């Protein structure tokens, strides 16, 4: 195994690297193909949400496969760890870089990156399109629509003044991602789960999980225990009963 991409394809402006990677996979592109764009005109978030993708950000999608019999969510959790490790390497040590379930990367509790894992289930082992967006050289004006989010938005250039080399950032992200991918295929999900929990600062805290498709609905409040063997968020209620959740939005927290 080699912890590198099979092929990296660069584009200037496309609607979405995930859509492009899916199209390429349909036409025969295989595992470890990476699609990178300088800007996206229709960057996708989870559900009906979008990912704002101005020039200066890093936008990429990678074709990966879960282990046989395992869920694609493994790869979403794995990518979260890779992004957190890469962001840590690129920013000053004093910044606190953490993961937020299911797939965000936070710097000092503000969102610097997001992951969207989509699946092509038309084969025996599903092919996953792991999309990663990171705000690198993105200014505050571009992020202003998201500053009021429960976890606000930030970028490398906001957190550490100056311009960052996007190619270097891409190389770091890919190195972390493929190293973890090889570890996962050799040793399973357990080491990935361990690394994810090590990079999460919400464990042991009281959190609220809301159904993002029903903004007005009441959420589940509980203590964040960790993630289970399938990457589900485990909450403990006031009675100490534990439940695993596989979708939703952590909308508030009490550190």
Name the 3-class secondary structure at 236.
strand
Residue 153 interacts with ligand BT5 (CB under 6 A): yes or no: yes
User: Of 60-99, which residues contact ligand BT5 (CB under 6 A)?
Assistant: 60-61
- Cis amide linkage into residue 102, ω under 30° from 0: yes
Q: How far is CA 96 from CA 13, 63, 171, 176, 197, in A?
A: 32, 29, 22, 18, 15
Q: Measure the CA–CA gap between 249 and 45, rounded to whole angstroms.
A: 13
Of 186, 200, 199, which is closest to residue 89 (Cα–Cα)?
Answer: 199
- Which phi and psi (to 5°) does residue 242 adopt? -105, 135
Of 234, 201, 199, which is closest to residue 220 (Cα–Cα)?
Answer: 234
Min. distance of Cβ 50 from ligand BT5 in angstroms? 6
Q: Measure the CA–CA gap between 137 and 170, rounded to whole angstroms.
A: 13
Residue 44 interacts with ligand BT5 (CB under 6 A): yes or no: yes
Q: Is the Cβ of residue 109 or residue 146 nearer to ligand BT5 in the bound state?
A: 146
Cβ atoms of 9 and 185 within 8 Å: the answer is no
DSSP string, 148-192: TSSS-B--HHHHSSS---HHHHHHHHHHHHHHHHHHHHHH-SHHH
Task: Out of 83, 115, 117, 169, name the contact with ligand BT5 by CB under 6 A.
Answer: 115
Q: Is the Cβ of residue 11 or residue 179 nearer to ligand BT5 in the bound state?
A: 11
Of 112, 153, 164, 117, which is closest to residue 135 (Cα–Cα)?
Answer: 112
Q: Is the Cβ of residue 97 or residue 143 nearer to ligand BT5 in the bound state?
A: 143
Q: Is the Cβ of residue 116 or residue 209 nearer to ligand BT5 in the bound state?
A: 116
Site string for ligand BT5, 166-205 (x = CB under 6 A): ----------------------------------------
Residue 34 interacts with ligand BT5 (CB under 6 A): yes or no: no
**For ligand BT5, which residue has the nearest CB?**
114
Query: Which among 54-62, 69-77, 91-99, 238-246 is the span making contact with ligand BT5, rule CB under 6 A?
Result: 54-62
Q: Is the Cβ of residue 46 or residue 242 nearer to ligand BT5 in the bound state?
A: 46
Which tokens hold the place of 211? Answer: 């159904």
Site string for ligand BT5, 123-142 (x = CB under 6 A): --------xxx-x-------
Residue 52 interacts with ligand BT5 (CB under 6 A): yes or no: yes
Min. distance of Cβ 247 from ligand BT5 in angstroms? 11
Residue 59 interacts with ligand BT5 (CB under 6 A): yes or no: yes
Residues forming contacts to ligand BT5 in the complex (CB under 6 A) are 16-18, 40, 43-46, 49, 51-52, 59-61, 104, 111, 114-116, 131-133, 135, 143, 146, 149, 153
């Amino acid at each position: 195994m080699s912890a590198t991409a099979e092929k990296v394809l660069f584009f200037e402006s496309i609607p979405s690297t995930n859509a492009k990677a899916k199209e390429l996979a349909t036409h025969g592109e295989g595992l470890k193909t990476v699609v990178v764009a300088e800007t996206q005109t229709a960057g996708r978030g989870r559900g009906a949400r979008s990912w704002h993708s101005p020039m200066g950000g890093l936008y990429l999608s990678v074709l990966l496969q879960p282990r046989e019999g395992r869920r694609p969510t493994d790869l979403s959790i794995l990518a979260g760890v890779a992004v957190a490790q890469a962001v840590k390497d690129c920013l000053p040590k004093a910044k606190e870089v953490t993961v937020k379930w299911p797939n965000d990367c936070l710097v000092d509790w503000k969102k610097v990156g997001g992951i969207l894992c989509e699946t092509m289930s038309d084969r025996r082992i599903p092919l996953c399109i792991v999309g990663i967006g990171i705000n690198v050289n993105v200014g505050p004006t571009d992020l202003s629509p998201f500053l009021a989010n429960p976890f606000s938005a930030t970028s490398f250039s906001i957190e550490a003044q100056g311009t960052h080399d996007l190619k270097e950032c891409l190389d770091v992200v890919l190195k972390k991602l493929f190293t973890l991918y090889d570890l996962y295929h050799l040793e399973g999900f357990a080491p990935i789960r361990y690394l994810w929990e090590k990079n999460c600062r919400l464990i042991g805290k009281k959190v609220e999980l809301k159904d993002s498709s029903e903004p007005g609905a009441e959420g589940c409040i509980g203590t964040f225990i960790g993630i289970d063997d399938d990457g589900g968020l485990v909450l403990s209620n006031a009675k100490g009963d534990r439940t695993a959740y596989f979708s939703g939005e952590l909308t508030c927290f009490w550190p």
